[in-house]
Amino acid sequence: MSKLLDRATWQGKVFSNGWVEAGGGVIDAIEPATGETLAQVGAADAQDIARAAASAAAAQPEWAAKTGPERAAVVRRATEILAVNREEFETWLIREGGCVPGKAAFEVDLVLGELHEAAALPTQPHGLLLPSSEAGRESVARRLPLGVVGVISPWNFPQVLSLRAVAPALALGNAVVLKPDVQTAVCGGVLVARLFEEAGLPEGLLHVLAGDAEPGAAMTRDPNIAMIAFTGSTAVGREVGASAGRNLKRVSLELGGNNALIVLDDADLDVASSAGAWGAFLHQGQVCMTAGRHIVLESVADEYLARIADRASALPVGNPHTEQVALGPLINERQAANVHRIVTESVAAGAEVRAGGKQDGPFYWPTVLAGVTQEMAAFREEIFGPVAPVTIVKDEAEAVAVANSSEYGLVAAIQTGSVARGLGLARSLRTGMVHVNDQTLNNDAYAPFGGVGASGNGTRYGSMSSWDEFTTWQWVTSRETAHGFPF
C-alpha cells in the first residue's frame, strides 16, 4: 500500500489544517458489491465547515500573491503523484464506487487531463489593457481570484467531478473547501486531500470534509465562501442555488440529465446499437450524461431494438473487484430498487421488456424497454440505472420535438449516415452539448461542459470556462498625478 493511503494518517478524520477529528463522528466507507466496510472517514458538521472556511479565507491571500508559475508547479506535482499512484486511485473507485476497472482507469485519465489543464491556467494572460476615455489615464481590467470556493461533489464520478473544480480553483489563486459525497468519501475526498498534501500545497488552502446535508447547507450560507460549485441531482441543486443566491454567492450548478440518443433512418444500426448500449449501460447508467431516452425513427426501430437487446443480454453483471464483468453494483440497494420501480411502472403502463429487468440486491441487469411513450416513468424520470427506454417516432421533426419535451437539457447524441443532416438537427436541440455520430458520454478537460434547464445554469466546466468561473474582473485606472474636479 502506498504512503498516500496510510490509514494511520486519515482513518476516521477530515482534512482541515492536517488530519483532525470531525464534529459529526465517523462514516463507514462501504463496498456496494459486498456490503463490507472498507474504512472509516470523518463526518463534518456545520461547525467544521465554519472553521475550515475561516482558515481558508485567512490562507488564501498569500497563495493568490504567489506567481503563476509557483502555483502551476504545485498542480504539476499533483499530476506526477497521481500518475505514479494511479493504481490506488483506481482500486478505490472499483471497491468504494462499484465501477468496473475500465471505468476506473478512464476516470483517472480524465483527472490527469483536468490537472494538466489546470496547471496551464496560471501562466495565461489574466488582464486587458483598455482604451481610456480621458487623456493621461491608464485603464486596465485584471482577473482576481474569488477567495474561497466551496465544492460539493457526487459519488458517481467522484474523483473527476471533485478535481475539475478543485484543481482550476486552486491554480487560479483560490482556497477550496471540498465536501465529497459520503458514499465515496475516500476516493472522492481522502485521496484528493492526500494528493495535494503530498504535492506540497500550503496548509489551509484545501479542506476536505465529507458529510451529509448539514455541512453542505452550511457551505451555501458561510460568509467566507464566495462561490459554490455543485454537481448532483436537480432537486438538491435547486436548494443549493436558492440558498447560495440568498447569500449573494456565485453558484455553478451541474445537475441531472435525461439525455436523448436519436437514431435516424440512415444510421448504421450495428454502430448505433453499440453507441446506445455504451451510452445507457456504462457505470450501470449512473452518469448524468447517460443515454436515458433512445428516440428511434420507426422504419429502423425493430432492428435497433433487436440489436441493442442482444448487446444488453450479453453483458455480465457482478462484483468488479473479483470478477470479469461489464456492470458492477449500483451505489446502493435503494438506488437499484428505484430503478426497478421505474421499469415496473413503465411495464404496467404498456412498455415491453426486451432484455434485463432483473434486480438482485444492488445489482441490476442491463435492461431494454420497447414501446415507451412520453407519459411513462422510463421516459419522464432520470433513471440513473442501466435502462435503455426506446421511443419510436415517425420522422426527424417528431424526433426533435420528443427530444426537446424534457425539462432537462444536458447532452444529446445523433446517429446518422449524413454528418450534414446530424449537424442540422443539432441546431434544433435544446442542450448544452450535442455529439453527432457518437454517444452521449463525452468529456474533454478543455471543452465547455454544462447544460441548460433542469440540467444546470450553463457551461461551467472545462479550461475554456475556468477563468470565468473561478475569478472575477477588477477594473483599475491610474494617473501619474491627481487632478481636481469642478466641486
The closest of 2, 388, 396 to 190, measured between CA atoms, is: 2
Q: How far apart are CA 281 and CA 287, in angstroms?
A: 9
Q: How far apart are CA 381 and CA 292, in angstroms?
A: 9
Handedness of CA 336, 337, 338, 341 (dihedral sign): positive
How is residue 116 written as a grid cell?
A: 494538466
Structure letter (DSSP) for residue 210 = -
Q: How far apart are CA 456 and CA 251, in angstroms?
A: 10
Residue appearing with cell numbers 468561473: 469
Q: How far apart are CA 44 and CA 189, in angstroms?
A: 12
CB 207 within 8 A of CB 93: no
Q: Is 253 helix (H, G, I), strand (E, B) or coil?
A: strand
Q: How far apart are CA 85 and CA 163, in angstroms?
A: 16
**What is the strand order of the sheet 449-453 is part of?**
408-409, 449-453, 458-461
Q: How far apart are CA 241 and CA 198, in angstroms?
A: 34
Q: Which residues contact 56 (CB under 8 A, 6 or more apart)?
A: 148, 175, 176, 177, 204, 205, 206, 207, 224
CB 284 within 8 A of CB 330: yes
Q: How far apart are CA 319 and CA 329, in angstroms?
A: 7
CB 470 within 8 A of CB 146: yes
Q: How far apart are CA 291 and CA 289, in angstroms?
A: 6
Angle of helix 46-65 relative to helix 213-221, nearest 10 degrees?
50
CA quadruple 237, 452, 252, 475: dihedral, nearest 10: -150
* Catalytic residue IDs: 254, 288
A 10 A CB-CB count for 221 gives: 15
